[in-house]
Chains A and B, each alone.
Chain A
Amino acid sequence: MIRLIGLNKWFGKHHVLVDINEHVKPGEVVVIIGPSGSGKTTLIRCINVLEKADKGEIFVNGVPVHNPKTNLCELRQQVGFVFQHINLFPHMTALENVTFAPAEVKLMSKKEATDVGMDLLNKVGLAEKAHSFPGQLSGGQKQRVAIARALGMRPKVVLFDEPTSALDPEMIKEVLEVMKQLAYDGMTMVVVTHEMGFAREVANRVVFIDQGRVVEVGTPEHFFTNPQTDRAKLFLSRIL
Chain B
Amino acid sequence: MEDFSLPVLLNYLPLLLSGLPGTVGIAFFAILCGVFIGFFAGLARVSLNPVIKHLATIYVEVIRGVPLLVIIYLIYFGLGSFVDIPRYAAAVISLGVFSGAYVAEIFRAAVESVPSGQMEAALSVGLTRGQALRKIILPQALKRMVPPLAGQFISLTKDSSLASVIAIPELTLTTYQAITMTFRSFQFWMTTAFMYFVLGWVLQRVARYLERRFAVID
Contacts and interface: CB of A to CB of B under 8 A. Distances in A.
B124 interface: yes
Contact of A89 (B123, B126, B131, B136): B136
Which secondary structure dominates where chain B touches chain A? helix
Nearest to B114: A90
B131 A83 contact: no
B185 to A, nearest CB: 52
Contacts of A153: 125-126
Given A87-B115, A100-B135, A50 B140 contact: no
Contacts of A79: 124
Interface in B79-129: 115, 117-118, 120-128
B217 A91 contact: yes
B124 A81 contact: yes
Nearest to A78: B126
A153 B115 CA distance: 23
Nearest to B125: A101
B117 A150 contact: no
A104 B128 CA distance: 10
Nearest to B136: A89
B139 interface: yes
A48 interface: yes
A147 B167 CA distance: 63
Interface string B126-155: 111001000110011000000000000000
B218 A152 contact: no
A83 B218 contact: no
A87 B118 CA distance: 6
B127 to A, nearest CB: 6
A96 B208 CA distance: 28
A101 B139 CA distance: 16
B140 A83 contact: no
A118 to B, nearest CB: 18
Given A100-B135, A133-B218, A135-B218, A89 B118 contact: yes
B128 A73 contact: yes
Nearest to A75: B126
Contact of A76 (B117, B118, B124, B139): B124
Nearest to A159: B124
B124 A104 contact: no
B218 A91 contact: yes
Top 6 nearest A-B pairs by Cβ distance?
Answer: A77-B126, A87-B121, A101-B125, A87-B117, A81-B124, A76-B126
